[in-house]
Amino acid sequence: MPERMPDSLQQKLSNRLRYYEEIGIGRFYRDRGAVTSLHAPEATAASEVMPIIEEPSLPKREPKSALPAASPSPLHKLEPVPVSAGPSLFESAGKIENETLPLIRENLGECTRCKLHKTRKKIVFGDGNPNAQLVFVGEGPGADEDAQGLPFVGRAGKLLTQMIEAMGLQRKDVYICNVVKCRPPENRQPEKDEVAACSPFLLRQIDTIAPKVIVCLGSTAAQTILQTNRGISHFRGEWLEFRGRKLMATYHPAYLLRNPAAKSEVWKDLQKVMAELGLAVKRGKPA
């Protein structure tokens, strides 16, 4: 006769299911072994600055079911380090049938799931092409984003726009979102409970868009999606895999505003993304 589940475990399971039910998730699976990577190389000095773009148009997207297989570059396992106890972010639902970004936004509602709602002006859900091959994920909204309800529209956002255009794309070609949808006070780093409340919606956004490449901007985005507390320097610039999609972690544009010398390293990372997407680039010369 099967052993009966302890009452305490039954209660924890019930509470967890109720939480996901409240945010509109009804199906569950555990995504095991979803993260792989290469060992991070040592940083090298940059000798390239402004790229000259060839063939700047984005290649016509094939149906998602017909996308070519990922390039054969080797991917090694990144041993995960848990960010906290409690429900795993990878226990959220897979892509729900007929899921759309407007439906996810409707499920989010006028969210009060964490304390960030007390000080926000507007929820910053995301912006861009719902069928994008490339998704950028940042940390959270700043003051300008909180005022306008759009991601990356402040100083860091303008730099991100320049980065996207240097790749030969426009903002309308990609999708941009953040780990948390409400501005943390004084632009502080999101806290664990805030990330836990918002992350299921981020993962649903990614599953619904089904991009070919995800670019994590900064440590918070990378650590949340990869479910690790390792510093970004351990894997920045290396191809990783998340749910069968290529993932690249690089520095946040806000970091580049404080450390302009790191722009060349980010450009090297974006060149790898361009190659994966089939975008041609001609290397520039120092100004």
Stretch (H or E) spanning 249: strand 245-250
Cβ distance 104 to 203 under 8 Å?
A: no
pLDDT of residue 7: 75
Cβ distance 204 to 99 under 8 Å?
A: yes
Distance CA 237, CA 272 (A): 8
Q: Is residue 32 pLDDT above 60, yes or no?
A: no
Comparing 37 with 265, the larger pLDDT belongs to 265
What is the length of the chain?
A: 287
Q: Give 68-105 pLDDT, tens digit per residue.
A: 444 434 444 454 433 333 333 333 444 567 899 999 99
Distance CA 61, CA 179 (A): 26
- 3-state percent helix, strand, coil for the chain, nearest multiple of 5: 40, 10, 50
By the 10 Å C-beta count (0-12 exposed, 13-18 middle, 19+ buried), 180 is classed as buried
What are the backbone angles phi and psi of residue 215, rounded to the nearest 5°? Answer: -115, 115
Cβ distance 51 to 282 under 8 Å?
A: yes
Model pTM? 0.70
CATH code of domain 35-282:
3.40.470.10
pLDDT of residue 2: 55
Comparing 77 with 218, the larger pLDDT belongs to 218
Q: Give 192-206 pLDDT, tens digit per residue.
A: 999 999 999 999 999
Structure-block tokens of residue 182: 């409400």
- Where exactly are the structural domains of the chain? 35-282
250 Cα distance to chain centroid: 11
Distance CA 160, CA 150 (A): 13
Distance CA 216, CA 249 (A): 5
